[in-house]
Amino acid sequence: MSRKVIVTVAPTGSIPTREDNPNLPITAEEVAAETKRAFDAGAAVVHLHARDPDTGGPTPDINIFRAYLAAVRASCPIITQITTGGGATTLNLSPEERFRPVEELLPDSASLNAGSMNFGRKLFPNTPDIMELYAQRMKEFKVMPEFEAYDLSMVQNVDHWIRRAGILKPPYQFSFVMGVMGGIPPTFKNLLALKESLPPGHTWQAIGIGRHQIPMGIMAVLLGGNLRVGFEDNVYLSKGILAKSNAELVEKAVHIIRELGLEVANVEEAREILPLLNKS
């Protein structure tokens, strides 16, 4: 039996605008419709940020997050993940404000950024104190952390501050985010180094930014990992051609995965593969 690859879709994120791609989903209804299309195309996980419907900008508003999750959950049985980082660099949110939607809305998973960095020109603060707090709380609420590693040092952060400290037993889910200015550059050698820095047993995916989305994602698939696509990280289907929907990006990834002789995990299979803390 061939390996099942998990495709995650990140339909909105905190950075792209309608000027970057007019098909960017912003309201809860748009995000849910877009998530359903991506689910139908093969995505098993959705990674969500909330946007203010008036300004289009990122927001920590719990009511908006609540509306997004309700609409997504009503549209399809996809595995849900929400951000704990989104907008942190632009909105100057406290760690508590960043975490509040997680404990109130109980998604299957939430991102846990595995170290501080310069994100472009801005400081993205994720100190050991914040990491420990989030890991502790996610364990308590049975929400799987997805450790977002923007560099090799962040894999070590997780090992030191979370595993060795005994906060949360492995295995863990990791994302290797490649191509953010301030993080690790998106090269095959770097992805290989990241992958080899993980002890066996963890699950992981690559998140390539911009034109690196598909190449880094497929390299990850070839190395035994998974991939994330979607407008959060890339709004183009190919050079100079904007994607009409997030589903188009999922379709492209699914097509390549199948051409490689691999299969795409459905939601039930992805639930088995991922180290979710609440499997039901």
What residues make contact with Zn ion under the rule CB under 5 A?
Answer: 83
Complex with Zn ion: residue 146 or 248, whichever CB lies closer? 146
CB atoms within 10 A of CB 12: 28
The whole-angstrom separation of Cα 56 and Cα 10 is: 16
* Shortest separation between residue 258's beta carbon and Zn ion, angstroms: 27
CA distances from 99 to 84, 137, 141, 144, 196 (A): 6, 9, 12, 13, 30
Name the minimum Å distance from CB 124 to Zn ion.
Answer: 12
Select the residue whose beta carbon is closest to Zn ion and give its number: 83
Show the CA angle centred on residue 13, arms to residues 11 and 17, nearest 5°.
90
> Whole-number minimum distance, CB 240 to Zn ion, in Å?
25
d(CA 75, CA 98): 25
Residue number, 228 or 252, with CB nearest to Zn ion: 228
Residue 58 or 225 having the CB closest to Zn ion: 58
Question: Is 231 in contact with 246 (CB distance < 8 Å)?
Answer: yes
Q: What stretch of H or E contains 206?
A: strand 203-208
Residues 158/115, Cβ–Cβ less than 8 Å? no
**Min CB(47)–Zn ion separation in Å:** 5
In the bound complex, what is the minimum distance in angstroms from residue 111's beta carbon to Zn ion? Answer: 6
Around 49, how many Cα atoms within 13 Å sit in the side-chain half-sphere?
25
Q: Which is nearer to Zn ion, 16 or 193 (CB)?
A: 16
Q: Judged by CB, which is closer to Zn ion: 83, or 173?
A: 83
Residue type, 57: G
Q: How far is the CB of 11 from Zn ion (least distance, A)?
A: 10
Q: Indicate the residue among 83 and 203 with the shorter CB distance to Zn ion.
A: 83
Structure tokens at 87: 């907008």
